[in-house]
Amino acid sequence: MSKKELVSKTAAAAKDELLRLAEESLSVSCHAVPVWHIPGFYFDTAGHQAAKKLMEADAQAAYATALAYRLTGRPDYADKAMELLKGWASINRELADKDGPLVSAYLGAGFLQAAEWIKAYPGWREEDQDQFVYWITTVLLPEWDRIPLRNNWWSWSLYAQLLLYRFLDDQAGFAEEAAHLKEHIDSSLLLTGFIPEETLRGTNSIWYHYFALAPLTAAAKQVLDYTGEDLFRWTSPSGNTIKKALDTLLYYANGRAGEWPYEKGQNVPDPLSSQTWPLDLYEAMSRIYEDPEYDQFVSPYRPIIGNRNKNSGYFQSHAWVFPELL
């Protein structure tokens, strides 16, 4: 089988998986609450997980149905995505507790991607789009914008904001966040490819490297698609590159976690599957860089679906979900 035929077969299998999930998602009802309390994961793990499920379910359903609409044109898919966006926009008025800014960014990214895919759908009325934008810009955006941390939290904030300004076709706002993204690449990475802030995360350091690079790369893809500027091949003033960071993470994630130079006993997926990290990231990056090592790493597990939260079963975040279809 030729490479072209293999890519086509893989994409067809991914589409089948997406449409299956989209059909299931048609029965999802909105879980929005007026005040969404998301306690810190390391302070109240059970409370954090329970709160997160509310948007996890809806972001997954909106994402799946909107992407299915984009691929098939079926209005019932767009209607479901629209219903879920409207539900949160009309009900939620406040984020509360420590992890609200982070969780709303990495799950809200799914809502914003869904919104982009149904933006031209005739059934999505202008007043409902305006209500969605009002909710994002008055409830979520202020929380994203004032995140003080410059680790994975800021990567997710920048990605969510770029999605928002792209949806609004706000070129000035997009350019400002793209500049912040370049600053973040320059300051958050090392020449060795490690991420200093994430090397301090104990036995979850490899996970946090993935969790920082997934939104960083997804943000770079937004910049590439919207402006044509290629940050994937950009070298920062300090000499940092996204590619070096990806290569460094892959070295350890691909069976060499025991060689991790920081804390030993790293928590990594075992076994790997189409629904575990970091395969979603490297499937997406295999398309960007056409690196044979990336392709070899992901090829046994295709089609790649996305990283599932082991606690809830929903997608944990929305950087690279169904990457083969993007």
**Residue-range domain boundaries for the chain:** 151-268
pLDDT on residue 271: 96
DSSP states of 267-297 as a string? ---SS--TTSTTHHHHHHHHHHH--HHHHHH
Query: Which residues, 6+ apart, have CB-to-CB distance to 293 below 8 Å?
Result: 247, 250
Q: 49: burial class by Cβ within 10 Å (0-12, 13-18, 19+)?
A: middle
Tokens at residue 289, please?
A: 């860089």
Say which DSSP state 192 is in: T
What backbone phi and psi angles, to 5 degrees, belong to 173? -65, -40
Q: Which residues pair with 94 in a beta bridge?
A: 35
CA distance 242 to 244: 6
Q: Is the pLDDT of residue 23 over 90?
A: yes
Tokens at residue 273, please?
A: 């599957």
In terms of Cα–Cα distance, which of 92, 50, 15 is closest to 305?
A: 15
CB distance 163 to 104 below 8 Å: no
Q: Is the pLDDT of residue 6 over 90?
A: no
**pLDDT digits over 279-326, tens only?**
999 999 999 999 999 999 999 999 999 999 999 999 999 999 999 999
CB distance 280 to 319 below 8 Å: yes
pLDDT on residue 170: 98
Q: 47: burial class by Cβ within 10 Å (0-12, 13-18, 19+)?
A: middle
pLDDT on residue 302: 97
Band of residue 7 on the pLDDT scale cut at 50, 70, 90: confident
pLDDT on residue 2: 74
The mean of the pLDDT values for the chain is 97
CA distance 213 to 288: 14
**pLDDT digits over 39-68, tens only?**
999 999 999 999 999 999 999 999 999 999
pLDDT on residue 267: 97
pLDDT on residue 281: 98
Tokens at residue 154, please?
A: 């800021």
In terms of Cα–Cα distance, which of 191, 179, 181 is closest to 158?
A: 181
pLDDT on residue 152: 98
Lookup result for tokens 């086509």: 8
Tokens at residue 57, please?
A: 């379910």
pLDDT on residue 240: 98
Q: Is the pLDDT of residue 137 over 90?
A: yes
Pick the range with the lowest mean pLDDT from 3-7, 33-37, 236-240: 3-7
At 36 the three-state DSSP class reads strand
Lookup result for tokens 């939260």: 309
